[in-house]
């Protein structure tokens, strides 16, 4: 497992080959209406405090440098069998009797992020993963052909009194720009997305577009839910010319209702509550 910074890691998660055609530096990526008031939630990539490596095992202690009271993570990655790589994660927080730990099999940890998602003043966590590439442990992101929601996933840990609840979100990306507080009263929404191209469209010669399918996942207290009353306020399908840097923020009419329904069926995010090991 290689520690990455926030922006490169999450851009890598959401990138397809089409990513190269538009500017990753702009913040104007969401499907939000121009009159929609949103507040971006601060998300911090944890610092590597200690690292040790043997032939098959890498151990990292992750936390927030300069804050000894902050919770810390022990992350152990076992690469004995490259086809069945596993990562064990252990969370240690002051006042917690025993560490919370769980294991993720056949996935590589991309990044471990902290943010106060439910507004209780305690850190919540976002853990992003990708599937182990077949036949190789180290594959350059630009050469990967398996970047799709079926191979990448993330875990959300929400603080709940003196413990945490863990939710695994599969079949969805977690874009770096996709954590916002929306609505009144404000609640946090994770904007999962999938980018794709559509063949056989009747477009002007030389025009190439990228489509963006969005799904809203909302945080309410210690619960994580799909389409918790927020989804209807935003377009699901947004189109962008490959030569442009901004999406149009409106529901596209280039796709038929039947095609939209089909795509929603192909890429529905699924949320499963996980359990910690003793």
Whole-prediction pTM: 0.76
Say if 247 falls within a structural domain: yes
Q: How far apart are CA 137 and CA 134, in angstroms?
A: 8
Report the length, in residues, of the chain.
278
Provide the residue range defining the domain that includes 46.
Answer: 6-274
**136 lies in a domain?**
yes
- 1 within some domain: no
Say which residues have a Cβ less than 8 Å from residue 111's Cβ, sequence separation at least 6: 3, 4, 6, 9, 10, 45, 127, 128
Residues 6+ positions from 87 with CB-CB distance below 8 Å: 1, 75, 76, 77, 78, 103, 104, 107, 108, 109, 129
Q: Would 160 be classed as within a structural domain?
A: yes
Residue 24 falls within a domain, yes or no? Answer: yes
Q: What three-state secondary structure class fits 145?
A: coil
Is the pLDDT score of 145 beyond 60? no
Return phi, psi of residue 263, to 5°.
-65, -35
Identify whether 146 is part of a domain. Answer: yes
- Lowest mean pLDDT segment, chosen from 3-17, 68-82, 170-184: 3-17
Question: Quick check: 225 and 218 in contact, CB under 8 A?
Answer: yes
What digits encode the pLDDT tens for the residues 211-262?
988 888 889 889 998 876 777 777 889 888 888 767 777 889 999 999 999 9
pLDDT digits (tens, 9 = 90+) for 120-143: 888 899 998 877 655 444 444 433
Q: Number of folded domains in the chain? A: 1
Quick: pLDDT tens for 7-63: 333 333 332 222 222 233 334 556 776 666 677 888 889 999 999 999 889 999 999
């Amino acid at each position: 497992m290689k520690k990455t910074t926030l922006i490169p890691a999450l851009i890598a998660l959401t990138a397809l080959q089409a990513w190269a055609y538009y500017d990753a530096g702009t913040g104007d990526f969401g499907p939000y209406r121009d009159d929609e008031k949103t507040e971006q939630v601060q998300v911090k990539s944890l610092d590597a405090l200690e690292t040790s490596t043997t032939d098959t095992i890498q151990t990292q202690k992750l936390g927030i440098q300069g804050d000894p009271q902050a919770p810390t993570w022990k992350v152990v990655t076992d690469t004995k069998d490259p086809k069945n790589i596993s990562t064990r994660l252990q969370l240690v927080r002051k006042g917690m009797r025993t560490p919370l730990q769980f294991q993720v099999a056949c996935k590589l940890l991309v990044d471990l992020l902290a943010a106060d998602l439910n507004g209780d003043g305690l850190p919540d966590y976002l853990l992003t993963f990708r599937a182990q590439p077949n036949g190789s442990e180290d594959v350059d992101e630009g050469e990967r052909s398996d970047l799709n929601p079926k191979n990448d996933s993330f875990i959300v840990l929400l603080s709940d009194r003196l413990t945490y609840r863990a939710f695994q979100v599969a079949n969805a990306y977690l874009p770096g720009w996709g954590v916002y507080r929306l609505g009144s009263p404000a609640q946090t929404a994770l904007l999962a997305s999938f980018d794709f191209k559509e063949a056989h469209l009747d477009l002007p010669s030389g025009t190439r577009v990228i489509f963006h399918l969005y799904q809203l996942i909302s945080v309410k207290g210690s619960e994580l839910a799909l389409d918790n009353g927020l989804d209807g306020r935003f377009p699901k399908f947004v189109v962008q010319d490959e030569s442009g840097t901004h999406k149009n923020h409106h529901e596209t009419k280039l796709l038929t209702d039947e095609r939209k329904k089909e795509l929603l069926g192909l890429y529905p995010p699924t949320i499963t509550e996980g359990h910690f090991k003793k």
